[in-house]
Structure 1
Amino acid sequence: MSALKYRRDIDGLRAVAVTLVVLFHYQFPFITGGFIGVDVFFVISGFLITGLLLKAQSVDDFSFATFYSRRIRRLLPAFLLVSLVTFVVISRYYMDDDYYIFSKSWMGSVIGLSNIFFHGQLSQYFSADAKIISLLHTWSLAVEEQFYFLWPLLLLLLKPLIKQPKFVLIFIALWLATFALSIWYAFTDPVAAYFLLPARMFELLLGCGLALFSHRLPVLKRWQSEVLSTTGLVAIVVSAVLLSGDSVFPGYNALWPTAGAALIIYAGMSNQQSLVTRLLSTQVFVFLGTLSYSLYLWHWPPVALLNYQLVELTLPIQLGLITFAFFAAWFTHAFVENSLRYRHWTLKKTFCWLILLPCFLIWLVQLTIRTNDDISFRIPAEKRELYKIMQQQNAGDLYKACFGGPDYDFDQSETCLFGNKTADGKPNSVLVGDSHGTAMIGFVEQLVAGTPYYFLAVTKASAPFISEPNIDKAFRRDKDKQRSRALQQYLIDNPSMTVFINNWWSSYMQNPQYIEYMSATVAWLIKQGHEVVIIEDVPRLPSQSHAYCLIRGATDCDIDAVQTQKNLKQANHFRAVLEQRFPEVLWINPRRAICDDEVCKTTLDGLPLYRDDHHLNYLGSKKLGDEYLRRFENPLQQLEIKE
């Protein structure tokens, strides 16, 4: 058996892999695990690259410069075309950080590090934030490129051992170790497991092993090839149907589709006459397989844009996407891939033209986006005022002195005082919290208007107020510890105040310890004689693009109230615990003003309430306060002002 000759059925297997990925991303029913197509690609890549390396080494014709130059010419031209077109198209639609994130991922994709960038950027691959990132799919290309960089070096070092009998045991031990590592990562750090090479290495090595030991593997009889190839195809298809975004992955769940791919490749080594092998070798499968790389590149950016625009993928749109991706892939394969991959460029020339120059141009794009505060020229003139509301009405910027001042001595000047000034000019209340507390300043302002409350805003991003003895447990950064200790001392020095608390409750309460931290903090505040008012959070939007709903000209900006309630499960549990322990605490729920049983509004009277997917803008916060008071009695009337 040989791992070096051209195999039509492997092109056909590529077709299966890319089809599953496309159907999954285009949200076709039943293909809930179509993402495993990428794992099939990994097995194929390991097999083919190892075969090429062994062939070159066998005739002493291997050159790192030649190998890397070919890889770059094979992968970069098509990607540069797709990414450039994507950049031009999304420039009309993507806003602020979403636009900048694209440019950063663009750079990461060119240098083969986008998977590392996405690992640091995203909470998970299947999150709503991920669905709007145009180059998200390049994470798998980055994994392969990193593998291409490491594997030739490792294979060269292992060359003296390859022909020795004990090498089989060495390789099996290496594979088992990487498989165990993937399982461990899948349970302990799912984001790293999904995006990073170490957790995917066993998949690539599965293909490598087939190429390395093809001459040692038993030659299969016809019926054996039939059984193995059929089993392999069934394993791939069943995995695509039964797995989902909620499955533990990669780990042991990635073994089923990758083992299936390996069985198909192995069966085809011995016998090209099995039913599955002949099916995969048909003209349709082979043709689609030759387009698989370009098709993979083109299929995702349009979906990301539609997700950003909140467009539902109906059947006509799905079919339109497939048609577009197919013809774009054919054009790219015929006129870009094939025109550059066979040119005899040196590594230096290849690197300069396909990596260095694009990186420089992308860096200029990044610089322009990051340094230009007003890029509203990309937005229709009639929508620019709405855009400026979201850009210029960030309470964190408007009240930066209160939000980002010295941690050991927060600003207590009139800049950070709100409400009705007291006779002595000193606050009788304080608003504490994280960036959500800052975003809620306008809401609290409206509640205290016409009341004797005069509150000091003391907030800090990602740093809710926690009292001793839990400060060191709750925070890692010294500056966050300093802020809580400084605020605690302030509350000791100024007893009998009303303390308004607002944080991103749903985020913190993912960690059960924070229930105890906050419970202890409330107990401490009450013991100090303070009145405690906890303000619940507003709904989190399904994605950042929802915040720009009005700017995009959409007429329906509401979100699902049922899903909102599901997202609040931990926050509601936190409230239930605290209400039982501290019945004297007053709770205020701003969601009452914008949510009913079916929908939650994200705009009021033509004004966008949010500035991103989970922060109100300042004017939106005030508008929410007005709406709350219009519909309900002011809850502060239940309290007695602390003198």
Structure 2
Amino acid sequence: MQFRNDIQGIRALAFFLVFLFHLNYTWLQGGFIGVDVFFVISGYLMTSIIVDQKDRNSFSFFDFYWKRLKRIFPAYLFLIIAATLAGSFVYLGRDIWTLQKSAIASIIFLSNLLFSRGDSYFGAQLNENPFLHTWSLAIEMQFYLLLPLLLIWIKKKFLSQVILLVIVILTAYTSISMHIDQRNGSAYFSLLSRIPEFLVGAFYSLKFKNRINFNRVYNSIFASLNLVILVLSAFLIGKDSFFPGFLALIPTIATANLLVTDNNFISDFFAKKGPVYLGELSYSLYLWHWPVIAFIRYYHDAYFLSPGELILTCILTFMLAWLSYRFIENFFRKKSNTLLIRYSVAGSIIWAAIAFFVPKITAGYQIPEAYTSPTFGFRSHNEKVIEVFGDKTAENSNILLIGDSHAFTIKPYLDYIGKRNHFSFSTVTTDGVPALQGIKREDYRANEVKFYDSTQKLVAFTQQNIKKNRIIMINCSSFIEPPSVYSALEKLAASLRPDQKLVVFSTFPSLDRDPVKVNRDYIKRTSASFKIISKEKNKIALEKLAAAHKNVFLYDLSKGNVLKNVPFYKDTLMYYNASHLNTYGSVSLGKEQEKDFMSFFRPIMSGK
């Protein structure tokens, strides 16, 4: 196939769409379609190459796969080594496993499967993960395994029809699945959902081998319209759209039309030196831009980059991309297969050593885990396990603590008070969603559904333990959002036996960002200010609930001096992220509130 400069220019456009979206999604909410443009180009070019070789009886599966690996893997492996090394110093100890497993999934081209599961509840978010962008390369490599099988084994006269049928079936399947689930979460990272985008390029390669050519004026009008459609898609399609699916056909078909339209001024523009050069750099630009952005976001725990950080990101991205293109990509294109094998083996060993040993070396510089992670009461969290805390010698306390991670967080608080005031309590808690009957799955966003589904496995177990106990205590980050949580709480209150009592906690405040990342120590080092997010509406709703039921009681955890200077108390870190007290903070709150809490709780225990 003849090399085409204009395709390089379209690659440059695809990168800039993605780059703008990743810098700030409010600038170009649908800029992620740049990845879909890459997919169409790959499907178009690979199909053209394979079919041409098939016609000349020169196609070799081994040669095809090896050339793809030789093109992608050298710079990719170097990126993974560098990001793992940098991440070992930037990431907190609590998040190192997230970094390691992301690197492992990336190096074997399976990161799309890992990232389809969503964020860790307590750990680093996806927009701070330096390997997030590898999902598209994983899908591309997975598709490359399948494409030759389709093109070689199916007779050429049926090939276009089969490809078109696969596009329709998989697109329909993806769209229907997203509408049933009312979210696009896992579909976004799915190979099955993305195959149609590659195959659009493949179909156009087969049907328009000689390209579309009316005359230059009509060609230019047609190409201009498709470029406008592509750019408008980047502005109008959003991250909450049901995408991919049928919606993805709009930018992918527009891209395919650009690829097959001959002799027009749009192609002429994309074939100029500037766009072509940036297109040649586009793979390395794509590899390096995201880790730079992700590390900055992680370090400062802020999505939006400052003007200085934006400039730094652009400089580092283009500098690293040029170095990668000049000394890795171009170098290995001209070298023997033996050298690539040696590099891959040696690089993989170096990466494994970095991934395993560097976090151990940097552990001495890390903040103690007790200040950065939940460390108390894990056995009864997200498991069908009951733990008992407080004064375990106390007889027949019959007190149960349930709820989400905010209930998990106050286990040390109640343990401290219980030991000093001779009561014990059992507990079972969950991530993200309290294990109550009646909470609706559709109330949760795509990245929250896995927590809902996990919690549902504990609903029956929690209900059994509610029935066994006389006093039920519940804490939750919010009882009013989503609304079905409050409805479930009302049902719980209404279902209590006359001898049962329900204690609802108005929880402690949250912050606008993670103080551990900002402070980088457990002793106060930062002068940064934190916005306190109060739970006043939550408290008002709980006051109404307590007023409506004589056996429901409200206790406010947000009062007192301990929480006046959050996230620090006595210049010591008391939160392990933006939303949760660490053990030190929880116990400190318990020490201050002990007398007040017991004056509230003692009559409840005695049944008065």
TM-score of Structure 1 vs Structure 2, range by shorter chain: 0.7 to 0.9
Residue 588 of structure 1 corresponds to which residue in structure 2? Answer: 555
Taking structure 2 as the reference length, what is the TM-score of the superposition? 0.84
Residue type at the aligned position of 1:80: L
- In structure 1, C-alpha distance between the alignment counterparts of 2:171 and 2:373, rounded to whole Å: 50
Report the equivalent of 1:549. Answer: 518
Aligned match for 2:475, one of 502, 506, 510: 502
Distance change in 2, residues 1:431/1:25 (3 Å)? same
Contact 1:537 1:589 in 2 (8 A): yes
Partner of 1:324: 316
Counterparts in 2 of 1:262-273, with a 5 A limit? Answer: 262-267=256-261, 270-271=262-263
Deviations 1:108-156 (A, max 9, x none): 11111111111124389xx981111011111111111111111111111
Question: Are 2:506 and 2:539, in contact at CA under 8 Å, matched by a contact in 1?
Answer: no
- Residue 231 of structure 1 contacts residue 263 of structure 1 at CA under 8 Å; is this kept in 2? no
Deviations 1:24-51 (A, max 9, x none): 2122763222111111111111111111
Give the Cα separation in 2 of the matches to 1:135 and 1:8.
Answer: 30
Question: What secondary structure does 1:396 align onto?
Answer: coil
1:343 aligned to which of 335, 338, 348? 335
> 1:552-563 counterparts in 2 under 5 A?
553-556=525-528, 558-559=530-531, 561=533
> Is residue 529 from structure 1 mapped to residue 513 from structure 2 by the alignment?
no
- In structure 2, the partner of 1:602 is 567
Counterpart secondary structure, 2:424: strand
Deviation at 1:242?
A: 2.6
Q: Name whichever of 239-248 and 71-80 sits farther off.
A: 239-248
Indicate if the aligned counterparts of 1:230 and 1:276 stay in contact, CA closer than 8 A.
yes
In the superposition, relative to structure 1, how do residues 330 and 185 fare at CA in structure 2: closer, same or farther (>3 Å)?
A: farther
> In the alignment, is the contact (CA less than 8 A) between 1:186 and 1:193 conserved in 2?
yes
Work out whether 1:104 is the aligned partner of 2:77.
no
- C-alpha separation between the residues in 2 aligned to 1:445 and 1:87? 39
Match of 1:35 in 2: 32
Q: How far does residue 461 in structure 1 lie from its aligned partner after superposition?
A: 4.0
Relative to structure 1, is the Cα distance of residues 337 and 511 closer, same or farther in structure 2, using a 3 angstrom cutoff? Answer: farther
1:234 and 2:199 aligned: no
Report % sequence identity: 25
Task: Name 1:296's counterpart in structure 2.
Answer: 286
Aligned position for 2:41: 44
Q: Equivalent residue for 2:448?
A: none
- C-alpha change, 1:193 and 1:537, in structure 2 (3 Å) is farther
- The one-letter code sitting in structure 1 at the alignment partner of 2:363 is S
Helix, strand or coil at the partner of 2:606: coil
Aligned equivalent of 1:484, options 429, 453, 462? 462
Mark the runs of 5 or more structure 1 residues left unpaired by the alignment: 492-496
Aligned length in residues: 586
Distance 1:575 1:92, change over 3 A: same
Alignment partner of 1:276 is 2:266: yes
Once the two structures are overlaid, the 10-residue window that deviates more, 64-73 or 214-223, is 214-223
Counterpart residue number, 2:146: 150
**Superimposed CA distance per residue, residues 167-203 of structure 1 (whole angstroms, 9 cap, x where no aligned partner):** 4433322221222123224333512111111111111
> CA 1:489–1:586 in 2, change beyond 3 Å: closer, same or farther?
closer
Contact 2:224 2:266 in 1 (8 A): yes
- Distance apart, 1:628 and its partner CA: 6.3
Question: C-alpha separation between the residues in 1 aligned to 2:568 and 2:246?
Answer: 45
Report the residue type matching 2:424 in the other structure.
F
1:494 is aligned to none
Q: After superposition, what is the alpha-carbon deviation per residue over 1:423-472, rounded to whole angstroms, capped at 9, x for unaligned?
A: xx44264433455423212334577798x67231322445956589x9xx
Q: Which AA in structure 2 matches 1:442?
A: P
Q: CA-atom RMSD, angstroms?
A: 3.9
| Aligned equivalents of 1:198, 1:204: Cα separation in 2 | 11
Give the conservation status (yes or no) of the 8 Å contact 1:20–1:35: yes
2:7 maps to: 10
- Name the structure 2 match of 1:456: 425
Counterpart residue type for residue 174 of structure 1: V
Report the counterpart of residue 443 of structure 2 in structure 1: none
* SS of residue paired to 1:535: strand
Q: In structure 1, what is the Cα distance between the partners aligned to 2:217 and 2:510?
A: 56
Q: Is 2:61 the partner of 1:64?
A: yes
2:239 equivalent in structure 1: 245
Instruction: Output aligned runs, 1:65-104, within 5 Å.
Output: 65-104=62-101
Return the alpha-carbon distance in structure 1 between the equivalents of residues 247 and 565 of structure 2.
37
1:477 CA displacement: 9.0
CA distance in 2, matches of 1:501, 1:109: 40
Equivalence map 1:301-380=2 (5 Å): 301-310=291-300, 312-345=304-337, 350=340, 353-354=343-344, 358-359=347-348, 361-364=350-353, 376-379=363-366
1:130 to 101, 126, 145: 126
Alpha-carbon spacing, 1:540–1:141, altered in 2? closer, same or farther (3 Å): farther
